[in-house]
Amino acid sequence: MKKILVLFTVLFAVTTASAVTITVNFDRPELNHPDLVNAIKADVEPVLAKYSDMSKLARGFANANTYASGAANMRGYQGYDLFAVSVGTMFSVQAPSSDPTFYEDLQDDLDAGDVYAGMGANPLVGQVGLNLSFLVDDLYMAFRFGKFDTTLGGENDDYKVNYDTNIFGILLNYQFIGQKSILARSMLWRGVSIESGFIFTKNKTAFYKELNAVTGSGTADALTIDYEVDPSIDFIIDNKSYIIPVEVYTSLRLLYIVNLGVGAGFDYVAGGSSKLTLGSAGGVTITDDHVGGASTLVGEKGTITIDTSSKDDADKFRGKLMANIGLSLGPVFIDMPATIYLDNGYAVGLSAGIVW
């Protein structure tokens, strides 16, 4: 969990904005003097300038959302007689390159500008499958659903993440090459199946990023005002995708216990949106007005509003290679599915369930 939080922190530390507009406001009217306000804005804008164009990062998060839609799948366990139930989790990454140590330099890459990277998750998903052979031989239907809403970190932590995700899907699986047993079923080849359907995913992430304080000075009429600005920011990303997966899969059960499977396919994103916004999580405090003990302005606080947003969508087609390894005991199984997308995208999950 710690590593996941660190990766969230690095990826969200620079999020997208097509333009940054800053507004400064104090409750005390005399502090809203244009000269003072412009001085504060002039100090804050250079700090936030590097967040002004991050369209590649927006696309990376949109794609990672697609990759995480395979949670609780039953790719290696088709061919059941009546029904199957699984519960699982899946985390995904859109890496900027094929270098497995990309995360070590990711913070530097983000500080330098835009980077194609992202992360997605569906931490709690269920799937229920039904054998529809009473309608069509070797046909299966499954319903996938999940919701997860959590807040990580607190007021005194250097990371704060609120994550809210929803997923719903309807899938059809057809086993066009049937099962074959070998050596009294000590080895069972589950044949070859093709699966497709529709998956809807929607998630929202709010992420806090602490930035170093900025100090400065400006004027308000005859007064010289010193101030300290906390330019810390909130990143908010909204993803929504309509996904049509197409997968061809085969698997093998060894010695009644070990399950291995491989497959290939693609995800088609039929529609959706990805919107990223940047908001202020800090403010400005007056530290001195140079009038001595008679000062009534020292300690006054003002708000900083950052108005910016940008949009980018997930790629329409994402080719993928799939595999799973699991253990089963009777109808119960534990499984680890993994997917490699053909543009440095990765997804890995953990599932448990029963087939009957």
**What are the pLDDT digits (tens) for 283-300?**
999 999 988 766 789 999
Which pLDDT belongs to residue 107? 67
Q: Is the pLDDT of residue 18 over 50?
A: no
- The percent of residues above 70 in pLDDT, for the chain, comes to 91
pLDDT for res 307? 80
pLDDT: which is higher, 127 or 48: 127
pLDDT for the residue 183: 82
Confidence of residue 349 (pLDDT cuts 50, 70, 90): very high
Summary mean pLDDT of the chain: 88
Average pLDDT over residues 115-127: 92
Is the model more confident about 190 or about 308?
Answer: 190
Question: What does the pLDDT read at residue 294?
Answer: 65
The pTM score is 0.86
Give the number of other CB atoms < 10 A from CB of residue 100: 9
Determine which of 153-157, 201-205, 216-220, 272-276 has the lowest per-residue pLDDT on average.
153-157
Question: Which band of pLDDT confidence, cut at 50, 70 and 90, is reported for residue 12?
Answer: very low
Residue 67's pLDDT band (cuts 50, 70, 90): very high
Model pLDDT, residue 9: 46
For position 113, what pLDDT does the model report? 59
Please report the pLDDT score of residue 259 as a whole number. Answer: 96
